Each structure stands twice: as C-alpha cells, then as structure tokens.
Structure 1
Amino acid sequence: MAIGRGSGRDERREPTFGSGPGSSDIRLTPDDRPTGSGGPAAPRREDGPRFDARREPDFSDPDRAADPERREPSFGPSAGSGAAAPEREPMSYWGWVMGRSRPSRKAAAPARGRSSSRPRRSLIGRLVSFVVMLGVLGAVAGGGVVAYYASRMPPLENLEIPKRPPNVVIADMNGKPIANRGETGGASVPLSEMPKFVPQAFIAIEDRRFYDHWGVDVFGLARAVKANIERGGVSQGGSTLTQQLAKNLFLSPARSLERKVQEAVLAFWLERKFGKQKILEMYLNRVYFGAGAYGVEAAAQRYFGKSIRKVNISEAAMLAGLVKAPSRLSPSHDPEAARNRADIVLQAMAEEGYVTREQANTAFRVTPPSPAPKPQGAVGYVADWVMDQLDGLIGLYDEDLVVETTIDPKLETEAEKALADGIAKRGAKLGVTQGVVVSLAPDGAVKALVGGKNYSESQFNRATAAKRQPGSAFKPFVYLAALEAENLDPDSIRNDAPLKLKGWTPENYTRRYGGPMSLTYALSQSVNTVAVRLGVEAGPVNVVHTAERLGIVSPLVPNPSIALGTSEVTPIELASAYAPFANGGFEAKPYVVRQVKTSDGETLYKRKAEAQKQVVDTSRVGMMNAMLRETLRSGTARSASLAGWPAAGKTGTSQDFRDAWFIGYTAHMVTAVWLGNDDNSPTKHASGGGLPVAIWSRYMTEAHKGVAVASLPGEWIPPVAEPEQPGDVYQAGPGRNADEPYSSAHVDEGYYDDGRGDRRAQRERRRDDGPLGFLKDLFGGF
C-alpha cells in the first residue's frame, strides 16, 4: 500500500500493476482505508485476484482497539464521512527529510491527555550550546581573518632576515673603542659572549614562557588581558620576544589588527626557522633602548660607558627594564624611575629562579649601576671625520667594522680641556666664541683633533672644514720661496719701509718702520713690509707653488697680498704644511685611519708606508727652523713655554682681528691653534701671540711629558734678534684692493725688484758702526 503526502485527498490515484484490459484492479477505494476510529474495518472487495503473500492489517482486533498506548494512523475521513478534515500543519523541508510522521512541537498537549515523555533542555544547557556555537562561529571567522591578512603578506619562503645596519667602532691608537657610528650605535655581540644574566633579565620581564611556546603565548596573552581589564587600561602586553623581533624585523610600529595577525604568523615562522638561542641573540642585538642605541652593546656603552660583556646584574636589569619605555625610563633622563623599574626586573628574575632573593635584594646596594657618561666630547669630531673618509677607503660596506685610528686618547682629552678652559676664562673678554686644536706627528698622523669648543653644541668640524685667513701664519711659505728663489739666508737684509703696489700700501701693525733688518728678525717680529717685498721678489705664483708643495690644498690667489695670508685655508692643512720643518723636509699628508677590519677580523684596509717625498732640502729646513725658533725666543710668540724642548712656530692674526693663530712644533709634534667666531665677526683684538700661544703651551707641555728631548732638524745657527716688537697684524691701506691679481706693472718705481737695493742697504748698514749707527739700528732711522 502506497501512502503519499496527499493522502487526505479524495481523488488520490493508486498505482496499477497491470496494463491489460483483463488485469485486476488492486487499487484501494475509500472504503478500504482505515478511519482511525477504532471501529470495525470496512468489508474487503472480493472481486479480482487475491494475493496471499500480502497480509493486510486487521483493524477489527478488539485487543488493539482497547490498547490505550497504541495510536492508530489516521489517513483522513472516509468518503462518506461528513466531518471536515482537520487542517494539516505545514511541514518544513528539513522536517520532511528527518521524518514525516514526527509530531508537531506546537501541539498544545499530547494525544489522549498524556504528558510528553521528551525532556525539555534546561536554560544552562541552551546557554552552553549557544556559547559553543558562538565559539565555532568565532573560530571560523577568526580563521578567515587570519587567512585574509596572511594572504596579504609576501610568501614566507621568500622572506629573509634583513641585515642589521652596520655599526662602525672607532678605536684609538691602542685599539680601544672611543666612539661608535652607524644607525644602531653599537656592534653586534654573540649571545655566548654576554653574561648569562643579561638574556635572563629580558626573559624574566618580557617573556617568562619563552622556552615553552612556539612564538605566540596564549596563556601570557590571557594573563595580559586579565590584568588590563582589572586595572582598567593597558598595563601589560601579550607579545612574546619572538613577536617583538618579528615586528622589529618586518613590520611597521603602527597598531592595527592586520599588524598583530601578521606579527603572530611571522613569529611562528621565526620559531620554525630559527632556534630559541638564535632568536634571543637577534632580539638582544636589535631592540631599541633610546638615545639612538639599538642592541644591548650600544645601550651599555651609552648608559654605562662599558661593553655589555662587563655589566653587572643590576645594570642588566636596568637595560631590560628600558625596553618598556626607553625615553621615560632612561637612566640619563629619570634615574629614579630607571632604578625602580630595574627593581621590578630583579624581582621577576628571583621569581623565575635566575637569581636568589638575597642577590636581588642586595643588587643595588652592593653594585649600584654606573652613572651615565657625559655626552660625547671632542672625539665626536674625530669620528665624524673618519666616517667621511670611510667610503673612499673601502667603498660600500654592509657589515660591522672596526676602524683603528692614530688618535692618542690622552692627548685628545688634553687638547679639549686646554681649548675649553682657555675660551671659558678669556673668550668673553677677547670676543672669541670658537676654537680649534689639531695636533700631528711629524709624519702627518693626527694625534688629537678638536674641531670646536663643544661638540654637543655644534658638530661642525672647524679643524677640517672651516676656511679661514691665516694672516701672518702664512709667511713661512713666503720666506721659504724667497730663500729658494733668491739664494738668501736668515742673515740677508731687507728694508722695512713703506711701499706701494699700484695703489695698495701694506702697513705694519704699529704703522712704524724699522728700516733694514735681517730676515730672521723680520720673520720673528712678523714685519709685513718685508714679507710683501720677499713675496714680490720670489713671485706670487712661486709662493703659491711652495705652499702647495708643503701641503696646502685650498685654492690660493697668486697676488702680492698672499704674503700676508689673505687666501683662506683650513687649520689641519696649515698644520700639515708646517710638518716638513719638523721632520727634515719631507711631505706629511695628514691621516687618521690606520686600519679597517670587519668584526670578524678580516682586514679591508691598511695604510701602507709610503716612500718619503722630499719637499724642502735639508739646508733650507735648518734656515727656516733657525728663523722660526726666534719667534718663540724673542718674537711674537715669546710667551710660549715648553721647558727643555727646542721649539719653533709662527703667530698669525688676520685683518680686523677676525682670526688668531699659532702653529708651533718640535721634532716630536706639530700643533695648530685657531681662535675666532663662526660668523667671521672681528674679535676684541685677539692676536696670535696671546691666547692661542697660551693654549698651545698648556697642551704641548702635557704632550711632551715622558718623551725624550730631540733637536729640530737643520744646522743653521740663528743670530740674536733685536728687541723690537712691531707686531704681527697687517692693515691694508687705501688704494687698490689687496686681492687684485699681481702683475709686474703693479710694482711702485720706488720698490726694487732685482735685489740690488737690499745689498746696497746692507753695505750702508755695515758702515754705520758708531753710536749714530746704533741709534739708527735701534729706532729704525730718523
């Protein structure tokens, strides 16, 4: 018997199993269908064949009708029934699939007034089901978000750890670091070379379960969320060390859901690709500690003035505490806050068993953190100059380097102190705000370089970059050119008298003239007129070539005024140009870099010992030293003090007292001192023979302690100078511009240009042997 969904319809057609005209019709009629009333069944039709194998239900059994537990199916009213069929409740598709005969939940009461045997779920059960359903949906949604943001990342197999920006360690002549340069501020240090409590401090305060998770710490994240909820703000972070490293290596600092998802993905990748120790080493060498310090080595150097290899437990704790807020917890900014944070780190270390309670309690009391060092001093000028030269020495580089220099740290400190103290005591009175001290060995090796009064206030390196007029400090090159061109010697006589060069009238500082005098006396007293006469005799072009041969590299203008130092030069090139007088006449190019190595010890550059080039013959070196020694004995630098050492040098003061110089030397060292103002404004009559000589004397005295005394090269014995002090400042008189290029037409008719006038004056001077001649010599004529 086939039962369909429309069994209540009167016009239901039952299937037929025969197609011939004589086949029997076995379809049911409405009379054959049960009524569900429990009454007697309708009589069966007898016509047609009967199938004995099929057993039709017998609804007339009185026992079945009396059974109260049995519900008979109802297929609708009979054809003759007058009662209206009840309206069937619509059944959903899923209800039909799961079972068509399932009773409706909307029934007010079960049949026959009996309570339902199906138990209703409690509220807790429904709540649990709801939560589970939400969890499943959340997991699906979260997985989709993760998959979406992860898809926006480059393929992990193509990722490479970015190289750490190279750090350059600047070392002194003994190999001891004196400065760092580079984006990180410090070199990378292997984990094996750090004290064990350094990584332990970071693990204790930043990621206690570092060795238990695979990049993301779910328990730590839950703990951080709980703490933040309890405190009503963000008091803890849930990022692991691996996540922090992933952020530092690949991601921006912007806070967003996308960055956090990518951070987690990258943390899993880092954990799979690298071991815990490698991750810890990379983290410690890249994390930021404030003040431009990246990595524990840079931080230890910056805050404690020592390598991370030498820090103690309390210092390691302070560094670990800095990571949370580098600026706010900086020891140099708020020492008390830094100590309090370090105490928290020590407590965490004790809780994790890295240190004992006793060690944690006594760490600050027994070994307090070292005070933060003072801001970088004058050695910063050296470091900057080294970095300017590095590309030219080794080309491009992408690894940590160690640059060994020629700097003597003791002399660097002494030079910085001498300059700073000199300006502090007398700078305001003299109207001087800046200065330079540069000291070279006779071969050109820079032993000390101070490019300004205070590096933290101004990083401009005046020693190597400031172009200033040398004034009379340029005269030695004029005298040397004249010695070579005119075959003169220190005893040669030149007339100190007014002269004109096509409208230009150079004058002495005192505007007085001494008449005929020896070259030694004229140079020691810095007589301007004699220097100009010698420059014209030798030829300005020849003077320029002589200065360039000795080491001047700045452009020089070949005109008569060059004899008075009107062309600008830098302090370091002026000092190097004096070095041939100290070393016997050999070229001395200034240099500061001796060797460049990688952090692994591979040599990338090493300065080769070059063959010495003779730029001044030995006899004239002796003559120059004889004349320049007189400057310190009785001339413009007679206030110089360097007990026991033969020394020589020259003062210089530019026009309107804008620059004050002294370049002095011994057989051991050449040192130049410059004072002035950055805006080129005039000083208050600061001259080379004053404060520059005082600074030079103080520094050179310290620099020569413990050094064996040596004589200056050369055999010339200078005569005794006459006790007159004309000064060393020139003033350009009215007329032609002093910078006008020279030509022979500029020489006044009264000025000799063949040397005969000098020889005639010498003969006349020799005839003045009586008292009148002595007075003429003393007062320069009548």
Structure 2
Amino acid sequence: MGKKRSGGGLSPTQQAAKFLGVSALAGAVLAGIALPAAGALGLAAKGSVEEFDEIPANLKRPPLSQRTTILDSEGGTIATVFSRDRTLVDLKDISPYMQKAIIAIEDSRFYEHGAVDVKGILRALNENAQSGTVSQGASTLTQQYVKNVFVEEAGNDPTKVAEATQQTLGRKIRELKYAIQVEQELGKKQILENYLNITFFGQQAYGVEAASQRYFSKSAKDLELDEAALLAGIVQSPSRYDPVNDSEEARKRRNIVLNRMVATRDITQEEADAAKKKPLGLEVSRPREGCITATRGAGFFCDYVRNAFLNDPAFGETREDRVKIWDKGGLKIRTTLDPQAQESVQTAIKDNVRQSDQVATAVTIVEPGTGKILGMGQSRPYGSDISKGELSYNLSVDKRMGGGAGYQPGSTFKPIVAAAALEQGKSPTQKYASPYEMPYPSPVDTCSGQWTNTRNEKLTNENEKEVGPYGMKEATAKSVNTYYVELISDIGICPVTSMAEKMGVNRADGEQMAQAPSIALGTQEMSPLTMAAAYATFASRGIYCTPIAIESVIDADGKSMPVPKTKCNRAMSTKTADTVNTLLKGVVEDGTGKQAGLGSRPSAGKTGTTDFRYAAWFVGYTPNMAGAVWVGDPEHKRQMTDITIGGNYYPKVYGGEVPGPIWKAAMSGALAGKPAPDFNLVDIPKDKPKDHEKDEADDEDQKPGKPEKPGGGGNPWPDFTIPPDVLGGNGNGGGNGGGNGGGRWPQPR
C-alpha cells in the first residue's frame, strides 16, 4: 500500500488551495504557478505539503548578514569586513519615495491582497499562456521576501542557493505557505521593512541603505524621487539594469518605474516627467571591505584575526559553523592590537625596508605573561598584485594561520638550547673546546634513538678567530656555533625539542621538529610570531603564554560571545629564565646585538643569520614586551649579499646590522611612556680573554669571516647527493618557496 497523504487524502494542489482559501480552480492555477506547460519546463513537485509545518523559526525576522567591525584594543576601527554589504535600517529611515517605488513596480496591490494575489496570478497566467513563455511572474512582495530569506540562509553555498531558487512546484508551494504565515505574524509595514533590508540591488549592495550609499553616496532616508525609482528598478535584474555598467538600460527601467508610480497614483504625471528629465546622477562609492582596507598597516593582523576566529572551536563546534557565523557578520571584534605599538612597528618598517626592495621584513610584538599580540606588520603590503610588491600571505605567522612555510631562525634558536641545558643541570660556566671547525659529534641521543654522523659532516664558526674554550656566557654573546653543537650533543636532542615544545616553538609548516644536532643552529623553519612568543617566556621568568589576538566579540544581537583565552604554563624554572636573561642581556651590551640596544632601558635578545644569508633575525625583549624581526626574501631565493635595503648598501647582511635597528626602532616607540623594569639577573663569571682575541666582538654579526658553509634553503650543489641522515629535517624552505633546508649541507667535493 502507498503512503497515506496528509490532509485527508487531498492532493498537494488541493491542500494549497485549502490553505489559501480559494477555489479548486484557483488552486489548479496555483499549481501551475502561472507557467505554461509546467511539465515541459521540467517542473516537478519535489517536496510535499507535509513540510508546511516545518517553518523556520527565524523566517519572520531572519538574522541578515551584515558588516563586521574589527577594532584595536582601544576601540579604534582597524577594518570592516563582510560577506554581504548591508546596513539594517528602520522603515522610518527609508525615503517614502523608495517605499512607494518598490511597491509600484514589484507589487502594486501589496496593501490590498493577502500573501497571494490571485488576480495577479490569473493575469500572469493569461499573459504567459498567450506568449508561450514565462513573460510575467505573479509573486507578491511577501513571496519575494520569503524567497530572499531562503537565499540568505543558503549563504555562499552555491548548491544551497540553487535549491532555494529552483523552479519546482514543491518549492513554490512551500513559499506560499510561508508567505501566509509571515503575513499573519508581521503585517505589511514590517514585511516591507524586512524586504527592503534583504533585497539585492547589485554592485555588492544588499539592502536599500547599502544600495543608496553605493550608487548615490547618501542615506536611504534622503533618496529623491528619481533616485528611488532607479533603485526600485534594479531589483528585477541587478545585472541587466546596473546603472554603472549600462546607464541607458537603467534609465529606461527608471522611467518605467516612474510610469507605474503615476498609474498607482503615488505621484503626478508632472512629477514623473520632471524626474525623467534628470540625469542618473550617480555618485558611486566603491565598497571598502576586507583586510586590504585595514588602517595602520594592520591588514595581515586583520587576516590573522579572521583565521583565529575560523580555527577556534570557541566560536563554533565545526569550521562550517564558524564560517556561517563569520559570513553572517554583524560582529564587533575587539582585538589585542595596541595602536601605539602598531604605529611604531609600521614606522620602523617604513624607515628601514622599502616595499620595492628585493627582500622584505616582518615584525611582531607580543606581551609577556598574557600572550597578547600588540603589533604585527611587514614591508610587503596586503594584496594580490605581485607587480606592486604586494603579498597575500602573512610573513609573521604559521602556515595554518595564513602564513608561509616559515624561515630558518639561525642563532636565535640557541637560547632555547641554553634553557634546555640549564634545566638539565648544566652550569652557565660550562666550557667546551669550541674549535673553529669540527665534525658533528656522534652518536647523539634523540627522543627515539641516536643520531649518527655517517657522512663525517663538519661545521665551522663564523670567524676563524672564534676558538675556545668558551663558557656559555661568552659563547652566547659571540654566537659560537661549535659551542652550541657540543652543548646539544652533550645533553641530547630530546631535552631541546621538549623545551621548544613547552615554549610554543614549532615549525611553521606544521611538520615535526628534526632530531639532529643541527637544530641548535636554527635550521628548522619558524615564524616571527612563534619566536616572539617564545622569547616572551624568558621575559616572564619562565612562563609561556599562547599568542592571542581577540579580546572580546559582540554578536549581531548585542550579546557577548565566548572567546578563547591564552593558555599559560611554566616552561622552565625562574632560575633558568633569569640565567638566560643574563646571557641575552650580554648579547645586547657586549655581543652581536649591540646595535639593537635600547639605551638606559634594560633589554635582552639574540641575533641570527642563516647560511647563504637567506634570512637575518633579531629577537629580543624587555620584561614587559617581546618582539621578533625577520629580514629576507619571502620566496627564499635571494641571498642577502651585495644588496641594497632601505636605500643602504650591504656587502653582507647580519642579524645585528639590519634586523637589530628595526627591532630597536619598533620597540622604542612601542615602549615610549611605559615603565622600564629591570631583569632579575644572576652572577655568571666572565671568561678570561684569550691571547688571540681583540676587545671588539669578532662574531657572526660584527665582522664577516670566511665564506659561510651552506646550511639550508636549497642545495647549492645539485649534483651532490645528500643522504637523509645528514639532513636535519625536510625543511621546505621559507615562505611560499625555498629549497630543502632543514640541516647543514656537507662541504662540496
């Protein structure tokens, strides 16, 4: 037996007629939806009247997509983003001309009929039957509103949009039922208001307020007769009657609307004639939307906020849920961005690296103890025009948050090795032979076994005069490579990767950290935000806090949404952190980072320069602010030798020479007017000077030595096969490009 129909055995057509309170004949007309030969047009009754009772609760007043405003920590606007440009307005704030024009052209009997205009259907049926095509529709304003609601709820999903607009009998019947309910519960004026707020007017403008601003740069309440008629005419076909792209078609359509307004006695013939003589009078305002419009160079921070929202379950159980909320918009998102810090970051970038330079810089500042991102910027602006030096990815963050594959941090990784060694009980006075050149020690313990130097791979210091023995303080100030490789080989690799994990240090591409002693020299690609947050751990005396960008979110209904909080954990003892702070303060005072010093304000940090000069870094901090500066080629192709940056020529770029001054300028402005607390230092005896050493620092960031050994970002000897056990990892280069990276290359034969 077949399934029993609901409604006492009535067919869908008869049920529709019953709901509408019209005759069976009119019901049959409704079943045809005023279309000739419905079957020939491929229309089918998909969906049944059984679904009539399944009316969406939000149909009466759906949450329409609106603009989202992203604010800095002081409430200033950073950017406005939207999926659909819309600003909701009350009916009283819409010009009476606009209200009359839309009714005249779309549903002249709006105030006379119910949800369905039977006379209109019969008239359309007659016209369509005579023409043999669908030349005239019969949907009332209420029915159009209902359809728009379903289109709105479909969002940006093309499949759902197609379902919401498909020409099927089932959809039309459901639309009629919903229209009846809306008429009963809202009333005419509210329906008109909702309709004018939801309708698409072309040129990315949804709703009459956005349309009025787009075409005439004025509010909807100020629309004149001719302007209102133009907008009302667009609705039927926003592309065909687009006044920006086809002024003649738009003018003809405007005049048709004016004629209809005369016919409905909303205006006189004289008023219509006068309006027809007016030019279109367009004063187009292009939509300024998205992170590309962000102020103070915060486009990439804005993009980071978006990614933070879409990636965090705090804003929705699934990514699909979060995307839907984001696209609906209407949010007010207050962020952690500090206006003073951001302005200082941008000024420091502008004064030192030009947009047109062969290389770029990225700067990020975070707050120790809270994880708040205070500033984020780069010399290549947000955009997609490569010819103008624009970039569409964020140089400061990991790949999953809109960044590239990261960059080798070089010697800025050494303090993490030092912290791991101190936690293992090593003394800061620990000495190693630290020769100028040596093979990698072997074997070395890893988390899962041992690393073996099967190729007898060697490493060198930057300068031939860097010959030990050295203690930790002097080796850190001079950035002695052989010292730190001996140190990691002594304690094993696992304590170092474990410390890195506790400090939030991970590869920017999401891959696992390599288990090789070369990681001590910074061979694993990382992002500036990662390094800034890691160094903030030292500043907060051992407490690591995950970076956060969002402080609060108010939804479209004015309600606060839950936001993710920073997660803080103790990564090391206060004694270890204080010891590292003492080591790194020495780098700024007497070592490779002297050009980054902040004068009387206590600071600490570390320089980093990768092999072949593909990247140079300075990562530093005060007790109340930490920042990272990277300089290099985003595509990891241009070596920084014989190069001009910011108008200054450099035979070779060092971490203390270019990134250091950028860091100093950015931090000086960001910290202006703020307290200047000191570190809790420990006493570390200084090594006695060696006979061969001079007073000045002969190190990787002060004086160039012999040509550096290659160490990442592409194999300089393509004919030389490098076995996997020599490489420190798969690398993947930096940014969106780069070579194999990961470890130290063997010397060419």
TM-score scaled by length of structure 2 = 0.61
Shift in Å, 1:526: 2.5
Letter of the structure 2 residue corresponding to residue 440 of structure 1: V
Q: Which residue of 2 aligns with 1:497?
A: 436
Per-residue CA shift, 1:310-331, capped at 9, x if unaligned?
Answer: 8873699798787566679989
Q: Which residue of 1 aligns with 2:700?
A: 727
Q: Which residue of 2 aligns with 1:103?
A: none
Shift in Å, 1:670: 1.7
Cα pair 1:490 1:623 within 8 Å, conserved:
no
Letter of the structure 1 residue corresponding to residue 188 of structure 2: K
Secondary structure at the residue paired with 2:439?
coil
Shift in Å, 1:650: 2.0
Q: Would you say 1:666 and 2:622 are equivalent positions?
A: yes
Tell me whether 673-682 or 619-628 shows the greater mean CA deviation. Answer: 673-682
Larger radius of gyration: 1
Which of 618, 627, 632 is residue 583 of structure 2 equivalent to? 627
Pair 1:196–1:205, CA change in 2 (3 A)? same
Letter of the structure 2 residue corresponding to residue 546 of structure 1: M
Which of 440, 444, 447 is residue 371 of structure 2 equivalent to? 444
Q: Which residue of 1 aligns with 2:527?
A: 570
C-alpha distance in structure 2 between counterparts of 1:586 and 1:467, whole Å: 27
C-alpha distance in structure 2 between counterparts of 1:371 and 1:200, whole Å: 26
C-alpha distance in structure 2 between counterparts of 1:510 and 1:441, whole Å: 35
C-alpha distance in structure 1 between counterparts of 2:282 and 2:288, whole Å: 17
Pair 1:335–1:215, CA change in 2 (3 A)? same
C-alpha distance in structure 1 between counterparts of 2:725 and 2:185, whole Å: 71
Letter of the structure 2 residue corresponding to residue 543 of structure 1: V
Per-residue CA shift, 1:21-64, capped at 9, x if unaligned?
Answer: xxxxxxxxxxxxxxxxxxxxxxxxxxxxxxxxxxxxxxxxxxxx
Q: Which residue of 2 aligns with 1:582?
A: 539
Secondary structure at the residue paired with 2:494?
helix
Which of 591, 612, 618 is residue 656 of structure 1 equivalent to? 612
Pair 1:613–1:415, CA change in 2 (3 A)? same
Q: Output aligned runs, 1:324-723, within 5 Å.
A: 372-373=287-288, 376-377=291-292, 378=299, 379-392=301-314, 394-396=316-318, 397=321, 402=331, 404-408=333-337, 410=339, 414=343, 417-418=346-347, 421=350, 425=354, 428-430=357-359, 432=360, 435-442=361-368, 443-450=370-377, 453-457=380-384, 458-462=391-395, 463-465=397-399, 466-468=404-406, 469-485=408-424, 487-489=426-428, 495-501=434-440, 502=453, 503-510=456-463, 512-517=465-470, 519-554=472-507, 555-607=512-564, 613-640=569-596, 642=598, 645-685=601-641, 687-705=654-672, 707-716=673-682, 722-723=695-696
Shift in Å, 1:337: 11
Shift in Å, 1:617: 2.9
Per-residue CA shift, 1:99-132, capped at 9, x if unaligned?
Answer: xxxxxxxxxxxxxxxxxxxxxxxxxxxxxxxxxx
Secondary structure at the residue paired with 1:425?
coil
Pair 1:414–1:174, CA change in 2 (3 A)? closer
Secondary structure at the residue paired with 2:617?
strand
Cα pair 2:588 2:595 within 8 Å, conserved:
yes
Shift in Å, 1:563: 0.7
Q: Which residue of 2 aligns with 1:286?
A: 198
Cα pair 1:206 1:240 within 8 Å, conserved:
no
**How many residues were matched structurally?**
584
C-alpha distance in structure 1 between counterparts of 2:170 and 2:338, whole Å: 51
Cα pair 2:588 2:605 within 8 Å, conserved:
yes
C-alpha distance in structure 1 between counterparts of 2:662 and 2:143, whole Å: 56
Per-residue CA shift, 1:333-382, capped at 9, x if unaligned?
Answer: 779999999999999999969xxx9xx9xxx9x99886743752314412
Q: Which residue of 1 aligns with 2:103?
A: 207
Shift in Å, 1:540: 2.1
C-alpha distance in structure 2 between counterparts of 1:255 and 1:179, whole Å: 39
Letter of the structure 2 residue corresponding to residue 562 of structure 1: I
Cα pair 1:653 1:660 within 8 Å, conserved:
yes
Secondary structure at the residue paired with 1:650?
strand
Cα pair 1:658 1:682 within 8 Å, conserved:
yes
Q: Which residue of 2 aligns with 1:116?
A: none
Cα pair 1:658 1:676 within 8 Å, conserved:
yes
C-alpha distance in structure 2 between counterparts of 1:665 and 1:346, whole Å: 66
C-alpha distance in structure 1 between counterparts of 2:485 and 2:216, whole Å: 57
C-alpha distance in structure 2 between counterparts of 1:151 and 1:545, whole Å: 63
User: With CA pairs under 8 Å and 6+ residues apart, which has the higher RCO, 1 or 2?
Assistant: 2
Pair 1:283–1:651, CA change in 2 (3 A)? farther
Shift in Å, 1:579: 0.8
C-alpha distance in structure 2 between counterparts of 1:727 and 1:340, whole Å: 71
Pair 1:483–1:328, CA change in 2 (3 A)? farther
C-alpha distance in structure 1 between counterparts of 2:254 and 2:338, whole Å: 36
Cα pair 1:629 1:649 within 8 Å, conserved:
yes
Cα pair 1:171 1:404 within 8 Å, conserved:
yes
Shift in Å, 1:446: 1.9
User: Any stretches of 5+ residues in structure 1 without a counterpart?
Assistant: 1-137, 226-233, 743-782
Q: Would you say 1:242 and 2:142 are equivalent positions?
A: yes
Q: Which residue of 2 aligns with 1:313?
A: 222
User: Any stretches of 5+ residues in structure 2 without a counterpart?
Assistant: 1-24, 126-133, 151-162, 293-298, 385-390, 441-452, 642-652, 712-719, 729-749
C-alpha distance in structure 1 between counterparts of 2:215 and 2:628, whole Å: 34
Letter of the structure 2 residue corresponding to residue 507 of structure 1: T
Pair 1:496–1:645, CA change in 2 (3 A)? farther
C-alpha distance in structure 2 between counterparts of 1:312 and 1:412, whole Å: 41
Letter of the structure 1 residue corresponding to residue 523 of structure 2: T
Q: Which residue of 2 aligns with 1:158?
A: 53
Pair 1:474–1:299, CA change in 2 (3 A)? farther
Q: Which residue of 2 aligns with 1:230?
A: none
Pair 1:267–1:312, CA change in 2 (3 A)? closer
C-alpha distance in structure 2 between counterparts of 1:340 and 1:474, whole Å: 67
C-alpha distance in structure 2 between counterparts of 1:204 and 1:293, whole Å: 20
